[in-house]
Amino acid sequence: MTSSEAVERNNGSAGFTLVEVLVALALFSLLAVLLFDNVKFGLQAWRSGSARAEAFQRELAAQDVLRRLIGNLYPMVLGEGAAQHRIDFDGQAESLEFLSDAPAVSGGAGRFRFKLFADRQRDRVDLVLQARPELAVPQNPERTLLVSNIDRVEFSYAGRGTGSDNAAWSNHWQEQTDSPGLIRLRVLMRPGDGRNWPELVIAPRVQADVACVYDALTMRCRGR
């Protein structure tokens, strides 16, 4: 075998053919697509999990705020005399208005008037909390969205001296001489919604208006 024939044979057996290169490129492209899809799926799953975790934390914070505010509601007496005596508290089936301690962000000074209600719009219902200082002009209260895009909200009230298991619940508490002993809040989600709010049953801690004008005859407050 001559040297030229050996060189030609070596050149023919070295490297890859064009078909082999094309097959390798096709396989590499397929692997790259699969890898990219897996990475994309992982990012989407991570973002979805992070969003659910953040929403869960917001819901826990909202529930804690409601427990504190409703638990600290202040039963301020309004009206003069026993016949006109009533508590500054308005409880309805889808809303609740009451006085309670100022939130921590305001410095904790004085009381605020809170209104918790179902804000009904065209195609959605939100649970919203309004707040303004007790003595402020009732204009442009601060609004906080607690839960968005729900089915409905249900408030109910029970008198004092009863437990949550044997309480006689009513969906209204208005023009009453005493604050309710128990307040129940249910937030119901739309069908197919994976969120689940627990039923909140809260017992107000303050049972009397300590700043009222006491009437010895009726043994009640006479209001301001």
What is the Cα–Cα distance from 150 to 138, expressed in whole angstroms?
28
What's the pLDDT tens digit per position in 164-196?
677 789 999 998 988 999 999 999 999 998 888
Would you say 150 and 170 are in contact if contact means Cβ atoms under 8 Å apart?
no
pLDDT bin (cut points 50, 70, 90) of residue 35 is confident
What's the pLDDT tens digit per position in 94-117?
999 999 987 665 555 678 999 999
Does residue 14 register a pLDDT over 60?
no
Would you say 88 and 99 are in contact if contact means Cβ atoms under 8 Å apart?
yes
pLDDT at 70: 94
Comparing C-alpha atoms, which of 18, 7, 164, 185 is closest to residue 93? Answer: 185
Comparing C-alpha atoms, which of 60, 63, 64, 40 is closest to residue 52? Answer: 60
Residue ranges per domain, the chain? 63-96+150-222
Could you tell me how many residues make up the chain?
A: 224
For 133, residues 6+ apart whose C-beta sits below 8 A from its C-beta are 102, 106, 110, 111, 112, 113
For 70, residues 6+ apart whose C-beta sits below 8 A from its C-beta are 96, 98, 100, 183, 185, 202, 204
What's the pLDDT tens digit per position in 117-150?
999 988 899 999 999 888 777 677 889 999 999 9
